[in-house]
Amino acid sequence: METAVPIPPPEKFTPKDLVTDQEVRWCPGCGDYSILKQAQNVVPELGIPRENIVFISGIGCSSRFPYYMETYGMHSIHGRATAFASGLKASRPELSIWIVTGDGDGLSIGGNHMIHLLRRNFNVNILLFNNEIYGLTKGQYSPTSHEGTITKSTPMGSIDHPFNPIALCMGADATFLARTMDRDPKHQQAILKRANEHMGASFVEIYQNCNVFNDGAFEVFTEKSSKKNETIFMESGKPLIFGDTNNKGIKLDGFTPVIVDIAEGSANDLWIHDERDRVKAGILSRFFDNPKNPNHLPRPFGVFYVEDRACYEEKMEEQIKNTISSKGEGNLDKLLMGRETWVVN
């Protein structure tokens, strides 16, 4: 009788083990440095063997990421990181795959690939660095640039209506949606861990400052003087509260969100966040007002929505098993013949 050989636990590694010999070539002060640091801090805590971790990128400043993570990785082609990742996950479902993309790479030339990966629900993690500009190609407007944005390609101001990435991905039936920012390391780490825990396609939008071509785009959400009044950090099961002294909250008047002063009303009336509620997640995704609007709503950060749904690679593997005969062989003739046949006399 054979004795089962115990599988050794994954070899432990540290953030320093993820630092490569490549010179990090981003502009000094770029928000990408923070995201890289948090990824290097989080990945060793996931309990995944380093040889099973893959970072895949497209084209853009963010797409240098695989060079700076001492794991397996691929610097693919513009907008197609999602396609490469889908193929790899289908053939090697045990791998932990992280897609690193930007608002241009992931939502412009790669937008079609992005929505189809989300609806298929491959078990991968998508990190979308959103700086509302094209950085690598030197400052043209991007799909997330606000109307009126003056850039090298829109010298009179952009007239395009921008994408709202979270709302877009809600429409693609994503099963995990979250937002964080480069200037909040602890929150960023917590969101990366939550994304990894999710079985399915996790989409994380990260507000990332491009200090050369779009400096201060998210300053109102990151600076201490304004952050508490301009942001809501969502936690499932807790009320939506914000303000300098947590003195403001959000309640629903029907389906309309309303800002209330907690001192003047009952805290029991406040909106309690439920990350499993698709309808309310859709409303939260539309908290996307221009902060210059005096009646604007605060910007939400955290997990918007989580849904349990079968992963594509699991369904594909099951389908393959079901087509194999009891002898362990497939019937190619039957497959080629299909279901529609005709007899010609």
Side chain identity, residue 226:
S
Residue with the two structure tokens 């608002």: 103
pLDDT tens figures, 88-113: 999 999 999 999 999 999 999 999 99
pLDDT in tens, 36-79: 999 999 999 999 999 999 999 999 999 999 999 999 999 999 99
**Residue 140 DSSP code:** B
* pLDDT digits 0-9 by tens, 205-229: 999 999 999 999 999 999 999 999 9
Query: DSSP for 275-330?
Result: TT-HHHHHHHHT----TTSTTPPPEEEEEEEE-----HHHHHHHHHHHHS-TTS--
pLDDT value of position 332:
76
The yes-or-no verdict on residue 246 having pLDDT over 90 is yes
| pTM, two decimal places | 0.93
Give dist(CA 152, CA 161) in Å, integer. 18
- Give pLDDT tens digits for 294-342: 889 999 999 999 999 999 999 999 988 887 765 667 777 777 778 887 7
List, in order of start, the domains of the chain with CATH numbers. 15-217 (3.40.50.970)
Cα separation of 317 and 27, whole Å? 44
pLDDT tier at 345, thresholds 50, 70, 90: confident
Which pairing describes strands 53-57 and 72-75: parallel, antiparallel, or unpaired? parallel
* pLDDT of amino acid 13: 95
pLDDT of residue 46: 97
Could you report how far apart the first and last alpha carbons of the chain are, in Å? Answer: 61
